[in-house]
Structure 1
Amino acid sequence: MKKAILTLTVAVAICFTSFGQAPDGFTYQAVIRDAANTVLINLPVGIQLTILQGGASGNAVYTETFSHTTNAYGLVNLEVGTGSTSGDFSTIDWTNGPYFIETAVDITGGTSYSVMGVSQLLSVPYALHAKTSESVTGTIAETDPIFGASVAGGITAMDTSYWNNKLGIEVDGSLTNEIQNIHSVLIEGNDAGLNSLTNIGRLTIGSTDETPGAALEINSVQGALLLPRMTTNQRNALTPVEGMMIYNTTERKFQGYCGFDTTILAYSSIGLTDAYVYDDGFIQDYPAQSFQVSEYGILDSLSFWVAEFYNGFISDGIYIEVYSGLPNTPETFLAYKYITINSTGKYTISFDEAPLLSTNTDYFFVIKPTMPFKIGWLSVLMSNGATPGEHPYGSLWYFDCDMVEFEDSQTEDLKFEIISGTNGPSWTDLH
């Protein structure tokens, strides 16, 4: 007689006889194969299932047989508890496990069964044991000593309905300022004390309608917005943030705190190629940029853009020197700054002693090495011939180490900005 190889999945799903109730059985699925591992498709088979208590060779407490036909995939779907039985399925004590299920098959469809295997039932006993809750009556006493000694153990049904009854020691002396009463703080005439309202997306006062885009709206024909009122000394004691507004009672002025105002006095924003800053002790190569300013102003800062750098600049650094006049002519030194280069991109430097710049006057700045770079070099962004520089009153100059003088490119500019600070951060009168 051919033997069968059984491929099975036990307790794939619990079979509920009615929704919300524990089951009187469970679903069993198996794939039937013969000794050659061939799936037996659309063939009648006899199956005997035996539930064993205590172990894989334990006592048989229930036996059930089925005559079933495999489907197109060799699969049989059985509901344990509904076949031809030997024993009472409902009397199995699922708390007294473990339990195993023994599977025997007759692939000819008869009753000459051959045992194919034994598998332990893991989750099924717990699901079936849940059915015993149907017969529970009365109340269940909580006997857990840990729970009984905890604060939660003293909570009664009355406490859950009137939770304020469970307030113990009131540390701030008030029983009405707790979070459950926060709405009462917002009622007309009530005092919020030192409480704060946070995370409010929009606030509308005096209207039930919201205006899109308005974070705060006051709708009133009987009242006005009253800004904080303070003396000059009180104002100066604040940590100001740009955009603050107050009414100064000392000066009788509405005032706002403004940030640092800047003006770009000269610039060129074209940066399509680069100019080198180089000094190996024999050859020197570095640029200068001449310019005129559009209005009077203090030279607070100067910006330029580093395109590339290689070796030497973190330790050696460069000088930015500013002069009045033009390269190769008698010039007057105005300011300088030493910096190190450790990345590409924009560099904005300020000067310790910022000179005053006047209109209709030539100035220039130089980006030069502080000492020979050994094997290092630096390049800064500039315009190219196809797209000349944007500054109409100056140009890029190159230092010629052979001639020991600068050569004027005439049409090119470094990418640069000359920046003047017209007003520093301060309180400003609004009228």
Structure 2
Amino acid sequence: MKNFFTTLFFILLCINSLYPQVPGAFSYQAVVRNLTGDVLSNQDVTFRISILQDSESGTVVYVETHSVTTNDFGLANLKIGTGTVVDGTFGNEGWGTALHFLKVEIDPDGGTSFIEMGTTQLLAVPYAFHAQTVENDQIDDADADAANELQTLSVSGNNLSISDGNTVALPAGSTSPWTNSTAGIKYFGGKVGINHDPADDSGALQVWGEDGMSLEIVNNSVTFPNIYAQNNSGTAAYIDGKLVIDDGTQGAGKVLTSDSGGKASWATPGTGLWTQNGSEIYFNGNVGIGTTDPIVKLDVSDDSGETYSRIQSTASDAGLFIERSGGANMAGLIFKTGGANGFYTGLLGSYSYKISTQNPTLNGLEVEIDGDVVLSDELHSTATGNSNMMPFAYGYISSAASKTGCTSNVGTVSKMSTGQYKVEIADLGSDYTVVVTINHGLAYSNAVVMGRNSAYFTVATWDTKSDGYVDAGFSFIVYKP
């Protein structure tokens, strides 16, 4: 309960011993505050004043109470000696014979439940009462005239003199480095240090707090800041340590932001579009780089020039994984020009790698799992121009006219007579070239094309030694332009 009300006490010395009559009271003022330091303004309070003799716990020689109302600033004014007397007599006797102490108690609710606020020694004020004994001539000084006890103090330069007495020299005062100005005081002599030698550092004003606060600035202005820092060429403020901004908006995890005027405050960061999962982040939706309207999961666009993407590892492998859900789906790349489809490449609806203008139908090149290469149409080279290097049909025909390793468009093969064979080809047409070779190992044998039409061609196997037909196996390849 004692700590609930904090009071600041001070005594005004209002007794003038030069007056013929010394007033029978002395003034006392107190500012009444609560535990948080706020003043209790315009409130009825009760004081109990006790005067103790010899010590702080000595004999109580006088007690009185005062019921007062604090002003707007929490200030209470008393005249000790004029209150409601509880015990004892307040007079001019006895002040010079012993030490006296002033005990103050208060009831902030204006009742009689007093709280002790402290006891302090009376050093000067009431002892003017004792000085009144000179006026009443109660001291034996060999005459009855009080006026002849008065003397005059005078100062001349550094000399202090008392009339009918001695003169002492006062120490000469030092000249202050500060000078007055219209707005306050000023100093142009160099750097200023508080609790620190300013010669050790470069700051014009150096304030060191050691283990306490170095500088405290309080300002209630809505217009002017506590500190204004300006540097037209470099850094305006440098903080070597942690910065605490305690404006009521602070909190764990908050970030510093500002309004349009640059006033900073703490704010809870937005969740953003990305979601964090441990050390990973993810986003469910399309992401655009260089575009505000992404149409795929990762859409990279640049209207100002070239656009590239890079996957790099400076220590190990690097690559791009494209994984599909099943064999009937596509896992590949699509190349377009001006938005129109050009080529598909990858696993296009099968387990073979394709480069095709269609998906999943092959219209191009296919590399099968076993390593075979399949073309849907012709094969050209820059050296041969538009000539098709891919055979239209091929196979091996035995001497008995049986087929081995023939393409699927090779139809019926028949032996017309000794050494004469007929080979039918589907969709052969009239514009084609046939290359035949005799089976290796047959000496003096040769194979030639005897005739041809749009459905078949005939081959003759000839024995050059006997100069006649001979049954023999041969291979053929058909090319179409």
- TM norm structure 1: 0.31
Q: Work out which structure has the larger RCO, using CA pairs closer than 8 Å and 6 or more positions apart in sequence.
A: 1
Q: Rg bigger for which structure?
A: 2
The structure carrying a bigger helix percent of its residues is 1
